[in-house]
Amino acid sequence: MRYPLRVVSVIAASVVSVLACSPEGAAQTSDEDLIGGEAARAGAFPSTLLVRGNCTVARVGPRHILTAAHCVYDEGRQDVRAEFASGRTIHVTDRVEADSVAAIDPAVFRPLTIAKVHVPGSYRERLVYGVRVLEDEADPDVAVMEIAPESEAALDGIPIASVDLTPVGAGEPVVIMGYGCEAGVDGPKDYSKQRLKVQKTRALSRDSQEHPGGWLATRTADYGHNVEKQYLFTPGNGATTEEASLCPGDSGGPVYRDDGQARTIVGVNAYYSFRSPGEDASRISVTNWHTRLDRDSRFDTGAWLASLGVRTAGGEPTSHYASCDTSKTGRLVCGAFRAKRDEAGGEASFGAATKEARSERDASGGWTWTQRFENKIARLDGDIVTIEEVSVAGACAGKRDGHYCGSFFADPDPRALYRCAGGAVGERTLCDLGCEGMPAGVPDRCRASKVDPCSKANAGDGRYCGQSLGDAGKALYQCKGKATFSRIECSKGCEAMPRGVPDRCKP
């Protein structure tokens, strides 16, 4: 998967984790002289599948299909996309080459009825649009499509891969793959015929993200730590032509541990990093990002998958997602945290859970499994749950006067908006639709609406300055089907171009 001119059909990461799927009926382009990657041999990765008109996926249970959350979730509706709703039919194939645009051939595509799509509650927590991974919190971009019992027979002959709970260290060999496009994120795309391509490679350390144009260069240290705890990195073709880069259509595809068996999955194709647009107009990734599934990941994603019936390997999953209570809060309160809450008086004492449990860094730089409630913060150390009271009294000490989202002060409630005055908390309010963090120098604010700004893109698909869509600030939106495909914060502001010419970030 080398891919200087064409992105290998590896990971279908989306340039905005909303629509990294391959649109049906897309314009056809030449597919000659493909550079990079290796076409998969029939039967080499038998658990890997293509969802017609969507992403690369893998079978990981009797009726369980592993994919990326952004492949199946509609962020504008804050719900699963309509085509993946319960009772809908999808079509999958294990052929390494498939005609995805022509009429469905029953000899190629297998019909599956959806029973339910599972998306982590933490992925749904933030009322944002665009690339979730680029927000201050790195969300677990993973989902499971649970197939109806009557469709299980349609998966006969497709083996079940296991999710590996053992972490992958930097330098360890892995295999990435996908059915995606082969010409760069912003290059020409041909989805009429798709083929599975693979690349043997090695995992990278977080240092790989310290490159010109990379996301971490303008982010806080905490952001970088969260991303490292949530994502596995591999080299892209933008770094060296000996490697392969993800491209829309690869999203959701499995990353296998390279042990010669092709049976254990350690990651899910999710996103990537690039050089600056001026250096690479086609957008060929420098690094690829894959959601971690191991027991040491920030959301212990492997345990969540195991709780759904996904097959796992590499030891027993933790009990973090056991005995979950969703009856009142709509967010998971599970395992040791639920037991401690119930023992100490229940929700009346703790308040509602404001976030799902996750690993959070402490003052010493270590990671602790943590659950945040309105009134308390619970931390798990071995088998011991410790409780601390939520205090906001000194939150504004040393801060300039103005409004700040509570997340800036580690407030457990994502709705909190503070007004700081003279170094003290002048007011703490809870925003109905959540608090919206603004660029440096602009006061944070309550989110005004759930309406997707791209719903106002009346001139059709393309790039729009946020100001023309009613979004103040310096954002540049890429709109598709009147939904946000990506949102980029332009450091020097957004430049509106003449009619017919896409808007752009100021150079």
pLDDT of residue 1: 37
Question: Does CATH place domain 38-313 in 2.40.10.120?
Answer: yes
* pLDDT, mean of residues 136-160: 91
* pLDDT, mean of residues 334-351: 89
pLDDT of residue 185: 73
Using pLDDT thresholds of 50, 70 and 90, give the confidence band for residue 176: very high
Q: Take residue 415 and report the two structure tokens written for it.
A: 């709705």
| pLDDT over 60 at 208, yes or no | yes
* pLDDT 10s digits, 407-440: 888 776 777 889 998 888 888 887 877 788 887 7
pLDDT of residue 248: 84
Q: Tell me the residue type at 270.
A: A
Maximum average pLDDT range among 54-58, 194-198, 323-327, 434-438: 54-58
| pLDDT over 50 at 8, yes or no | no
| pLDDT over 50 at 256, yes or no | yes
Among 204, 234, 251, which Cα is nearest to 9's? 251
Maximum average pLDDT range among 214-218, 221-225, 253-257: 253-257
* pLDDT 10s digits, 352-395: 887 889 999 877 889 999 998 878 889 998 889 999 887 777 88
* pLDDT, mean of residues 184-195: 71
DSSP state of 333: B
* pLDDT 10s digits, 301-317: 999 999 999 999 999 99
Strand 38-39, strand 197-202: pairing: antiparallel
Contact indicator for 463, 480 with CB cutoff of 8 Å? no
Reduced to 3 states (helix: H, G, I; strand: E, B; else coil), residue 338 is helix
Q: Where are the domains of the chain?
A: 38-313, 335-389, 402-446, 453-505
Strand 435-436, strand 445-446: pairing: antiparallel
pLDDT of residue 147: 97
* pLDDT 10s digits, 23-54: 333 322 223 222 246 888 998 999 999 999 88
Phi, psi (degrees; rounded to nearest 5) at 46: -70, -15
List the Cα angle 416/421/423 in 5-degree steps: 95
Whole-number mean pLDDT of the chain?
Answer: 82
| pLDDT over 80 at 480, yes or no | no
What dihedral angle (degrees, nearest 10) is formed by the CA atoms of 67, 69, 73, 74?
-130
pLDDT of residue 133: 58
| Overall size of the chain counted in residues | 507
Q: What is the pTM of this model?
A: 0.77
Contacts for 89 with CB less than 8 Å, ≥ 6 apart: 111, 112, 113, 114
User: Residues of the chain with pLDDT > 90: what percent?
Assistant: 38
Maximum average pLDDT range among 77-91, 145-159, 426-440: 145-159
Determine the Cα–Cα distance for residues 450 and 75; give it in Å rounded to an integer. Answer: 10
Strand 73-74, strand 143-147: pairing: unpaired
Determine the Cα–Cα distance for residues 127 and 446; give it in Å rounded to an integer. Answer: 11
* pLDDT, mean of residues 315-323: 94
Using pLDDT thresholds of 50, 70 and 90, give the confidence band for residue 9: very low
pLDDT of residue 182: 78
Run of H or E residues at 270: strand 264-273
Among 202, 178, 188, which Cα is nearest to 71's? 178
Which residue shows structure tokens 């392969």? 244
